Amino acid sequence: MTTPSLARALGDRNRGVGFDQLAEIRSSADADFALDFWNSDGSRAGACGNASRCVADLVMGQTGQRRVTFTTARGTLEAERTADGRVSVNMGKPQLDWDQVPLAQPSDTVHLPLPGDPSAVGMGNPHCVFFVPDAGAVDLPRDGAAMERHPFFPQATNVEFASVIGPDHLRMRVWERGAGITLACGSGACATAVAAHRRGLTGRQVTLDLDGGQLLIDWRDDGVWMTGPTALVFEGILSHDFVKMHA
């Protein structure tokens, strides 16, 4: 079973495996499997959309299923394989009230009373979304790190910077809580699409260009669906000594 120490050791890109988020697969009595998520600093993550899609792809490949359900801290979610081979996951309904995100005080989550006029959205973890003229020009190490631990977010926050390319097309970069700069954030892409629609910038179905690739987000009545490609990179076995050292 994963511990904070083991998660930190595995996340070390020099002496471990290296990751942004770790997805731990467990058995579940209520679904096909259960998932726990860990950040590379050893803290827990409430949701990880792209990891959910990747694990769903792995399980569907092993079982021959085209649809799976799984339990997370967010609740029971579902994923399915699309006709073109991509994987879609329903990340659940967005949390739009200030105390659900959560925020430190009652606030309008569409327009937070903070410099830069960001929005807040909960997707099982908190997100602070800034809309900027050019997401590529943002100083992520400075601006992302400064907002991650802002007192307005008592549980810290993921920080997204997005620019509008078209009425249903966004460019997004992200600083993730507990991980720093990452190439993509599935829950962050969902939060950004929700925030963009709430501000009247896009429709409910949005294509997002991230540093790590492209995702399609569709905010439906039953939740926010995220669709994208997956790829198995490698398989490995952790040594007993490594696990024992960091248990």
Q: What type of residue is 129?
A: V
pLDDT of residue 121: 98
Tell me which of 48, 54, 128, 190 is the catalytic residue: 48
Record the tokens describing residue 69, joined without a space: 């359900």
Cα angle at 161 between 43 and 184, to 5 degrees?
55
The residues, any chain, with a CB within 8 Å of residue 15's CB and separated by 6 or more, are 9
The rounded distance, in Å, linking the Cα atoms of 175 and 164 is 18
Q: Are 55 and 70 in contact (CB under 8 A)?
A: yes
pLDDT of residue 74: 83
Tell me which of 54, 128, 185, 190 is the catalytic residue: 185
Q: What is the CA radius of gyration of the chain?
A: 18
Query: Residue 193: how many CA atoms within 13 Å on its side-chain side?
Result: 32
Residues 199 and 241 occupy one common structural domain: no
Q: Are 136 and 144 in contact (CB under 8 A)?
A: no
Residues 126 and 165 occupy one common structural domain: yes
Residues 204 and 241 occupy one common structural domain: no
- Going by the DSSP 8-state scheme, the letter that residue 136 receives in this structure is G
Given CA atoms 243, 54, 229, 237 in this order, what sign does their dihedral have?
positive
Q: Are 128 and 158 in contact (CB under 8 A)?
A: yes
User: Which of these, 86, 83, 89, lies nearest to 70 by C-alpha position?
Assistant: 89
103 part of a folded domain: no
Residues 207 and 124 occupy one common structural domain: yes
Q: What is the CATH number for 164?
A: 3.10.310.10
| pLDDT tens, the chain, 247 aa long | 889 999 999 999 998 999 988 999 999 999 999 999 998 899 988 888 899 999 999 999 999 999 999 999 888 999 999 999 999 999 999 999 999 999 999 999 999 999 999 999 999 999 999 999 999 999 999 999 999 999 999 999 999 999 999 999 999 999 999 899 999 999 999 999 999 999 999 999 999 999 999 999 999 999 999 999 999 999 999 999 998 888 7
Residue numbers of the domain that contains 41? 4-84+236-246
48 a catalytic residue: yes
First vs last Cα of the chain: how many Å apart? Answer: 8
What domain count does the chain have?
A: 2
185 a catalytic residue: yes
The rounded distance, in Å, linking the Cα atoms of 195 and 5 is 35
Q: What are the beta bridge partners of residue 160?
A: 129, 174
pLDDT of residue 221: 96
Q: What is the pTM of this model?
A: 0.91
pLDDT of residue 58: 95
How many CB atoms within 10 Å of residue 93? 17
